[in-house]
């Protein structure tokens, strides 16, 4: 059965759509079959891949007027498209029974056809995003390595935690992706340090560099591998996909370094200890400590003087 991953950040412009497309394309490069879901009414993903307006988009499916109708973008790479109509869906579905589970129900019919379903979330925490989280195995958080990258993150985590407790017990933060990274910029390096401090091992080792080809590819209606497979952007997303597959097969690394203690006796309590809770240590800590502070920022000039 396929894994379902939501790309979530309530901020716009952090690389959700770019990452959804190119993680999808990278997984296809590695032999996987992938379905992308464009859950953003702005339909950036649909437009970036040059897919024309469909008779049956995600909107019709969520309203119960059709099943999910994937469009094939290229071999092993399908997309369920979005349209501006979707912006009305949150209001229209507000009184629908089981409104948080609509996407999950729709996935039941297609999940066996794919290795991965990847959802491009809108930049908000409304009903559409709730549907994504309720149906997902993992949330990946793309963070732009700029000042204020972590602002509002506590709220987003509250939502993820609530969904886990009330609607979807299996949901975990499966990874944090540093995007638009430029190692020459002190600011970018400092922000990555702060992200690492708070998310620990959850942060993927691969950072997505700032790369113009990634911004150009949508204008050509292509993923990065179709557009420029030798670009740094293609290399980064391919490396990230190797990490993603590794995490799916071998588990998500612990958020904080684990202490090496003597193995616990095999009492019923020890056996029943949920592994998932251990993985969430840092996340829990952030919840207790409150909002994540902004990173300590050095300026280029202060670093040069040092
Ligand atoms: N690594 C990158 N390097 C250069 N430009 C990027 C990169 N990632 C995203 N962009 C560009 O930044 C803008 C915002 O990215 P996008 O993926 O649309 O963010 P979101 O979906 O979070 O709003 C887009 O114009 C996109 O082409
Ligand atoms: Mg987007």
Sheet holding 77-80, edge to edge: 71-74, 77-80, 34-38, 116-120, 3-7, 138-144, 172-179
The domain limits of the chain are 3-256+268-305
Tokens at residue 138, please? 């993992």
- Taking only the tens place, the pLDDT of each residue in 177-201 is 999 999 999 999 999 999 999 899 9
CA dihedral 11, 13, 15, 16 (to 10 degrees): 50
Q: Which residues of the chain have pLDDT under 50?
A: 257-290, 306
Tell me, what's the pLDDT at 152? 83
Q: Tell me which residue has tokens 């009903």.
A: 127
- The contacts of residue 199 (CB under 8 Å, 6+ apart) are 173, 176, 255, 282
Tell me, what's the pLDDT at 294? 56
CA 54 to centroid of ligand 2, rounded, Å = 19
Kindly state the helix (H) or strand (E) to which residue 173 belongs, with its residue range.
strand 172-179
Q: How far is residue 194's CA from residue 188's CA, in Å, rounded to a whole number?
A: 10
CA 149 to centroid of ligand 2, rounded, Å = 16
Tell me, what's the pLDDT at 233? 98
Q: Whose CA is nearest to atom 25 of ligand 1?
A: 215
Q: How far is residue 112's CA from residue 135's CA, in Å, rounded to a whole number?
A: 14
Pocket test for ligand 1, best of 15, 36, 206 (most atoms within 8 A of CB): 15
Residue 145 phi, psi dihedral angles, 5° rounding: -80, 60
In terms of C-beta distances under 8 Å and separation of at least 24 residues, what long-range contacts does 214-221 make, across chains too?
Answer: 214/18, 214/22, 217/48, 218/18, 218/21, 218/44, 218/47, 218/48, 218/49, 221/48, 221/49, 221/50
What residues pair up with 37 in beta bridges, in sequence order? 80, 119
Complete DSSP assignment for 33-53: -EEEEE--TT-HHHHHTTPPP
Tell me, what's the pLDDT at 147? 86
Tell me, what's the pLDDT at 305? 52
Q: Whose CA is nearest to atom 6 of ligand 1?
A: 215
- 3-256+268-305 maps to CATH 3.20.20.140: no
Q: Which residues line ligand 1 (CB under 6 A)?
A: 12-18, 44, 123, 179-180, 208, 210-211, 214-215, 218
């Amino acid at each position: 059965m396929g894994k379902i991953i939501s790309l979530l950040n309530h901020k716009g412009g952090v690389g959700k759509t770019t990452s959804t497309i190119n993680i999808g394309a990278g997984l296809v490069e590695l032999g996987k079959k992938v379905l992308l879901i464009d859950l953003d009414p702005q339909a950036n993903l649909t437009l970036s891949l040059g897919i024309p307006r469909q008779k049956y988009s995600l909107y019709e499916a969520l309203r119960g007027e059709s099943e999910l109708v994937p469009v094939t973008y290229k071999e092993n790479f399908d997309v369920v498209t979005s349209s501006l109509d979707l912006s009305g869906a949150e209001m229209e579905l507000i009184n629908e029974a089981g409104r948080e589970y609509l996407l999950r129900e729709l996935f039941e019919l297609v999940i066996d056809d794919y290795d991965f379903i990847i959802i491009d979330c809108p930049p908000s925490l409304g009903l559409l995003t709730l549907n994504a989280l309720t149906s997902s195995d993992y949330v990946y958080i793309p963070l732009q390595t700029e000042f204020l990258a972590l602002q509002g993150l506590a709220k987003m985590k509250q939502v993820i935690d609530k969904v886990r407790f009330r609607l979807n017990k299996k949901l975990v933060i499966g990874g944090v992706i540093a995007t638009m990274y430029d190692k020459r910029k002190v600011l970018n390096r400092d922000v990555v340090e702060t992200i690492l401090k708070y998310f620990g091992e959850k942060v993927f080792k691969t950072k997505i560099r700032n790369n113009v080809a990634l911004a150009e590819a949508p204008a050509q209606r292509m993923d990065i591998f179709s557009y420029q497979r030798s670009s740094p952007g293609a290399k980064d997303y391919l490396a990230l996909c190797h990490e993603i597959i590794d995490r799916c097969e071998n588990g998500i690394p612990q958020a904080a370094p684990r202490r090496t203690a003597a193995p616990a006796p095999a009492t019923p309590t020890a056996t029943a200890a949920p592994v998932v809770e251990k993985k969430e240590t840092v996340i829990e800590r952030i919840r207790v400590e409150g909002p994540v502070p902004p990173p300590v920022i050095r300026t280029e000039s202060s670093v040069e003087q040092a």
